[in-house]
């Protein structure tokens, strides 16, 4: 390995330029080359890692907007590399829970080599019998989001009807498969024929539609759910939420995971049909995966065997190399990706 004795090596980085209002573009980021010494700072309890896979996620659009929001959604810092979730190999460890050579997933930066200063927020990867990139998706944040959102927030019952928007994405495809194997009737919507085909023929949804081809979302939902919707797993937001509100069943539940159709807008669209929350006694609950980290071991225990038995499948959209990372992120914001958007930094 280059730089093994601490000499400076090249460190390609994807640097955030400045805050964005409205549509984000790949020129809001720039790929630069800097150098880094492959040695932990003296006395550091952090980790020096080589990044392998990076995750492109819709919430990152929010982090491009300079707003004061609590918790995870801290804005990116202009002039600094994009940060996000990824899979990495440990080159040097100052933390007792990790050692050189371990693989981890957690919060890292969009660059070849990173210093992780909060290793306690990272998960060591124990099972490498699955594609490593899955730890940015099915076995990482999106997977735990799907698991906790569906099983903990939606309170599902067998036989209930489930609707998922942005259903072929990183989270949606997993929610749909969980809901099907749990015994629900599952319909998804997404924005292209190719994605609808995936939903029906690869992920086993009972039905699916392309919202871009529907003149009337309310009518599309009434066609798919003549008796109404028990559970809405909300990823898309906006007009879809309004149409869903007209079609919820009594005591239905809406888990609000994302509102991705809104993130690129200067002003979010208004949602008009909230009176249905009362008439139909609907619970609508926003959640973030960070509140459910304690469930990760239980989640892995359930999902790893299912992956190996082929009972759960996962579709990724892969961009090769950091040079292509800005475009991949923007593709993801506009829904042009098919499946979970991943950036490969290095195959090692």
Residue for token pair 């208004």: 270
**Residue 85 — φ and ψ, nearest 5°?**
-90, 145
Q: How many CB atoms lie within 10 A of CB 139?
A: 26
Residues in the chain, overall count: 348
Backbone torsion region of residue 228, taken as left when φ is above 0, otherwise alpha when ψ lies between -120 and 50, otherwise beta: left
Residue for token pair 């020096």: 48
* DSSP label of 325: H
Judged by CB under 8 A, which of 192, 210, 273, 324 binds a copy of itself? 273
Please, which residue, 144 or 343, has the CB nearer to a copy of itself?
A: 144
Contact indicator for 250, 231 with CB cutoff of 8 Å:
no
Contact indicator for 116, 49 with CB cutoff of 8 Å:
yes
Q: How many CB atoms lie within 10 A of CB 129?
A: 8
Q: By CB under 8 A, is residue 101 in contact with a copy of itself?
A: no
Q: What is the nearest approach in angstroms of a copy of itself to the Cβ of residue 222?
A: 12
Judged by CB under 8 A, which of 9, 115, 288, 302 binds a copy of itself? 288
238-267 mask for a copy of itself (x: CB under 8 A)?
A: ---x--------x-----xxxx--x----x
Please, which residue, 22 or 305, has the CB nearer to a copy of itself?
A: 22
Total residues binding a copy of itself (CB under 8 A): 36
Judged by CB under 8 A, which of 6, 22, 78, 268 binds a copy of itself? 268
Q: Could you tell me which stretch among 16-24, 78-86, 172-180, 273-281 binds a copy of itself (CB under 8 A)?
A: 273-281
Q: What is the nearest approach in angstroms of a copy of itself to the Cβ of residue 339?
A: 23
Q: By CB under 8 A, is residue 41 in contact with a copy of itself?
A: no
55 beta partners: 342
Site for a copy of itself, rule CB under 8 A: 62, 69-71, 73, 237, 241, 250, 256-259, 262, 267-288, 291
């Amino acid at each position: 390995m280059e730089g093994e004795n601490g000499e400076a090596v090249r460190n390609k980085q994807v640097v955030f330029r400045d805050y964005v209002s409205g549509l984000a573009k790949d020129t809001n980021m720039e790929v630069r080359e800097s150098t880094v010494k492959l040695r932990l700072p003296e006395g550091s309890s952090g980790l020096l890692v080589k990044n392998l896979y990076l995750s492109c996620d819709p919430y990152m659009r929010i982090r491009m907007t300079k707003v004061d929001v609590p918790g995870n959604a801290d804005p990116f810092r202009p002039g600094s590399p994009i940060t996000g979730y990824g899979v990495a190999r440990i080159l040097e460890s100052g933390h007792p829970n990790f050692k050189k050579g371990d693989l981890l997933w957690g919060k890292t930066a969009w660059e070849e080599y990173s210093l992780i200063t909060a290793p306690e927020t990272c998960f060591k990867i124990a099972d490498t019998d699955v594609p490593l990139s899955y730890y940015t998706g099915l076995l990482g944040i999106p997977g735990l989001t799907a698991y906790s959102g569906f099983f903990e927030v939606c309170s599902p019952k067998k036989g209930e009807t489930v609707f998922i928007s942005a259903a072929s994405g990183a989270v949606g495809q997993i929610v749909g498969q969980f809901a099907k194997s749990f015994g629900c009737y599952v319909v998804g919507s997404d924005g292209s024929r190719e994605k609808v085909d995936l939903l029906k023929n690869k992920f086993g949804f009972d039905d699916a539609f392309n919202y871009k081809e529907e003149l009337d979302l309310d009518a599309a939902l009434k066609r798919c759910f003549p008796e109404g919707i028990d559970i809405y797993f909300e990823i898309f937001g906006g007009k879809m939420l309004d149409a869903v509100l007209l079609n919820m069943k009594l005591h239905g539940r809406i888990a609000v995971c994302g509102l991705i159709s809104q993130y690129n807008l200067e002003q979010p669209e208004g949602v008009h049909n909230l009176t249905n929350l009362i008439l139909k006694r609907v619970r609508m609950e926003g959640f973030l995966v960070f509140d459910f980290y304690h469930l990760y071991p239980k989640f892995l225990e359930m999902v790893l065997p299912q992956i190996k038995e082929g009972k759960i499948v996962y579709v990724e959209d892969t961009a090769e190399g950091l040079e292509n990372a800005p475009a991949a992120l923007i593709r993801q914001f506009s829904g042009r990706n098919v499946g979970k958007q991943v950036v490969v930094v290095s195959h090692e």
